[in-house]
Amino acid sequence: MTAKAGLVKGLRFAMGRGQPSISMASLAFGGAALVGGTAYFTYRYTKAHTAVQQEGDGPIDPGTSFRVFDQIAQKYDDAIGQEEAALWYGMMRKWLLREARGEVLEVSVGTGRNFEYYDFAASGIKSLTCTDLSQHMLLRAEDKFFDELHLGHKHPNVRINFCLADAHCLVDPNAKLPPKPEPPVEKKEPSAAAAVAPRPRPQPLPEVDPASAPWWAYWRRLPPVERPKPAEAAPSSAPSEAGQPASSTEAAVSGDAMPGLHAGGLLNFFRVLLPSSDGSKQAPAAAGEAASAEAAGGASSHEHAEASSCCSCHSHSRGYSQRCSSGQHESGAPLQKFAPRQFDTVVDTFGLCSHEDPVQALKEMARVCKPGGKILLLEHGRSHYDWLNDKLDSSATNHQRKWGCLWNRDILGLIKEAGLQVDKVTRWHFGTSYYIIARPSVR
């Protein structure tokens, strides 16, 4: 008997007397589970997308797209969770954020969908500053970081700040460049007399006055943190109250001071609900100086615009120019700005589609990034194929109304126009998803 005939005989015996590998009950159960799971996820997807429908049929002014994000902040994660899982965006975020180092700035943080992909333990991240123009998105991200993911407890040595900021004017023109690091000083061996000298006894912590100290300092029985004094304003400006922070970001507590608990969450919540009617108390020092100088007649309107914002000269018809020149959000809350070359890494994931002027936003990212630093981008835009671009163009208005995002922009063209140096770029999903590692151009 040949080997082939023996194999055929063995198969006939197994099929005739053996038990079938899959029973009818198992097959029916698997089919029911597949149909039920498909129906469940389809229901969740449809319900979430129906909840974010916007009224009307015309395009939205890109300068006010943050209002769309205010409306969908609470349902945003549920609405796009299945889409991102199907497109492997979570893996792409993880690959991208492995490049983050040092002082990190995340622009348009949204609801904080990147938080779980940062490697805070091994990547050498010293601080993470999260910005967004949508107040509700920013509050949602802060709750996720501290209360849902408990990253404040897990990584207390990483400083975290949540700032209301406009990506079109991230740089404070009045801020000084960070000082250059001093060369290391050689350590000298202590002398014999110094070695035997008694060490000074530690001084006890001063008593905390609950009426003047922040509540978190009183809770921890620690002395209140000394806040940096703002720059001296013109004589016509009213002096600020003692202990009053210049912006909402100064109320945020770093992980070193109070791991796991954050004063910024409650304080920012009340600032959103009850914005101050007196804008002069909340405006940044730069905006206050410019306003007082204008009131005193010491500067012309053109000089005031240049001193308060570097981007107002880009286009006088832009909606963001008024925010940047005043230094305030439409709600009256102050906008945070940063010193040039302050951050080692700048991150923006799926944010360029929602910026009013993405080229200006990219230029600002380059200005706050240190020379040799990295600008990490994960975006969606135009495809390799014309037929798909036609689909994106035809549905761009409807997509913008629901999500505040124009998904048919030429991402590589925007980066080229902004003057960034691209080190790596890969495109996925028929060329509509962009994974980009760039850096500021050498001047």
CB 134 within 8 A of CB 70: yes
- Per the structure block, which two tokens stand in for 218? 């009183």
Q: How far is CA 333 from CA 43, 94, 235, 323, 415, in A?
A: 39, 33, 24, 11, 31
Confidence of residue 247 (pLDDT cuts 50, 70, 90): very low
Those residues whose C-beta lies under 8 Å from the C-beta of residue 163, and which sit 6 or more positions away, are: 129, 130, 131, 138, 247, 248, 249, 336
Please state, in angstroms and rounded to a whole number, the distance separating the CA atoms of residues 435 and 380: 9
DSSP string, 249-291: GGG---TTTSTT--HHHHHHHHHHHS--S-HHHHS-HHHHHHH
Cβ neighbours, 10 Å, residue 362: 27
How many residues does the structure list for the chain?
443
* Cα–Cα distance for residue pair 131/114, rounded to 1 Å: 13
Once rounded to an integer, what is the mean pLDDT over residues 137-146? Answer: 96
Of residues 33 and 77, the one with the higher pLDDT is 77
Judge contact between 146 and 152, C-beta under 8 A.
yes
Residue with tokens 């230094």: 327
pLDDT at residue 96, as a whole number: 97
β-bridge partners, 425? 436
Contact 178, 342 (CB under 8 A): yes
Kind of pairing, strands 159-164 and 125-132? parallel
Distance, in Å, from the CA atom of 402 to the CA atom of 51, rounded to the nearest integer, reads 9
Q: Residue 123 has what pLDDT?
A: 86
144 contact partners, CB below 8 Å, separation of at least 6? 111, 112, 115
The tens digit of pLDDT for each residue in 159-175 reads 999 999 999 999 997 88
Say whether pLDDT at 254 is over 80: no
Q: Which residues contact 56 (CB under 8 A, 6 or more apart)?
A: 401
Q: For 384-412, what is the mean pLDDT?
A: 94
pLDDT (tens digit per residue) in 177-215:
656 556 666 666 656 554 555 655 545 544 444 444 444
> What local confidence, expressed as pLDDT, does residue 58 receive?
63
pTM equals: 0.62
